[in-house]
Amino acid sequence: MERGKLEIDGPVARILSEFDRADKRRISIRQLLTHTSGLPAWQPLYLATGGDSEAALNAIAAEPLQSEPGDRVCYSDLGFIALGFLLERIAGAPLAEIARRRLFDPLNLQHTCFNPAPALRTQVAASETGNAYEREKVGGLAGARDFKWREHVIWGEVHDGNAYFLGGVAGHAGLFSNARDTFRLADQFIAGRTELLAPETCVIFRTNMTQRLAEARSFGWQLAEAADSTAGPALSADSFGHLGFTGTSCWIEAARERVFILLTNRTHARQPPFAMINDVRRAFHTLASATLDAKSTQ
């Protein structure tokens, strides 16, 4: 957007021709970024495509909309997978290469990557055994019975089935990192610390772009003012954050230049349904905020 290569309110179909369909032509890039496109939350693309990863984008574009674009917030993996493909079309390069060139190398991130090398496995938290959670979700869908599900302990490879199907690199999942590198990435969304963005761009991430809807969203992030947010009462309303399914989270309180990173593991050696840890996240933010407040008065 800063380089003038992306019109945020322009139609996705202008870049992704697969979206040039009667019900998808009005979907904008902004709506994908704020989860208001109307696309469903999730579908097992590995089943919908018959196992052909090259057909993933067409499968997403063929999904019936759950609501009219702009009418409702529905967190959508499919929307962010589409954004990953959109970036590849604009840059003419694979998503992993874009991330390396635009993020990892400039920030000197030594512990952030897609598809970690086997030698890094001991630094990676293991996830569940097989894909029991997704197997339960797909139930009796066509192809599920004969699909070659992972049966081993998912360790050193992406947990999410769609990201794994897409080669471990996707717009919604697949990135591995540690707390220090995650902190460096989070800093890029704070106007006073960013090294990659114009400071005025950082205002975007603190701005509620779904004010008349049921959930407060900016580009990519949820805002703390959202009902049932995991930010908790200690963070200001314009703080923004994101959760990871396996138990991770990152919240950014840009007004006070604070970053809260919690890397936990709720999926390993457990059967679904996995523990709900949102209260843990809120308690962590309260304790961390109190500690930082105390330090600032010393």
Are the C-beta atoms of residues 48 and 13 closer than 8 Å to each other?
A: no
Q: What does the pLDDT read at residue 234?
A: 97
The fourth-level CATH superfamily of domain 179-296 is DD-peptidase/beta-lactamase superfamily (3.40.710.10)
Q: What does the pLDDT read at residue 83?
A: 98
Which DSSP letter does residue 222 get? E
Q: Among 203, 126, 113, 121, which Cα is nearest to 159's?
A: 126
Alpha helices in the chain (DSSP H): 29-33, 45-48, 56-62, 77-91, 95-99, 132-138, 161-165, 179-187, 278-296
Are the C-beta atoms of residues 72 and 213 closer than 8 Å to each other?
A: yes
Q: Both tokens of residue 207?
A: 């701005």
Give the SS3 label for residue 178. Answer: coil
Q: What does the pLDDT read at residue 148?
A: 95
Are the C-beta atoms of residues 183 and 164 closer than 8 Å to each other?
A: no
d(CA 177, CA 109) in angstroms, rounded, equals 9
Q: Both tokens of residue 18?
A: 């697969």
Q: Both tokens of residue 147?
A: 């699909």
**Which amino acid would we find at residue 267?**
T
| Preceding omega of 69 cis (within 30 degrees of 0) | no
The full set of domain ranges for the chain reads: 12-104, 179-296
pLDDT tens by residue, the chain, 298 residues: 999 989 999 999 999 999 999 999 999 999 999 999 999 999 999 999 999 999 999 999 999 999 999 999 999 999 999 999 999 999 999 999 999 999 999 999 999 999 999 999 999 999 999 999 999 999 999 999 999 999 999 999 999 999 999 999 999 999 999 999 999 999 999 999 999 999 999 999 999 999 999 999 999 999 999 999 999 999 999 999 999 999 999 999 999 999 999 999 999 999 899 999 999 999 999 999 999 999 999 8
Chain centroid offset of residue 244 CA:
7
Are the C-beta atoms of residues 74 and 64 closer than 8 Å to each other?
A: no
d(CA 13, CA 28) in angstroms, rounded, equals 8
Q: Both tokens of residue 101?
A: 């060139």
Q: What does the pLDDT read at residue 289?
A: 98
Q: Find the angle CA(197)-CA(203)-CA(207) to the nearest 5 degrees.
A: 140
Q: What does the pLDDT read at residue 298?
A: 86
Placement of tokens 């599900």 in the chain: 149
**For 257-294, b where at least 16 C-beta lie within 10 A, e where not — what string?**
ebbbbbebebbbeeeeebeebeebbbebbeebbeeeee
d(CA 194, CA 185) in angstroms, rounded, equals 9
Which DSSP letter does residue 258 get? E
- Please report, for residues 33, 192, 193, 207, the alpha-carbon distance to residue 200 in angstroms, rounded to integers and kept in the order given: 18, 10, 12, 12
Are the C-beta atoms of residues 90 and 152 closer than 8 Å to each other?
A: no
Are the C-beta atoms of residues 190 and 169 closer than 8 Å to each other?
A: no
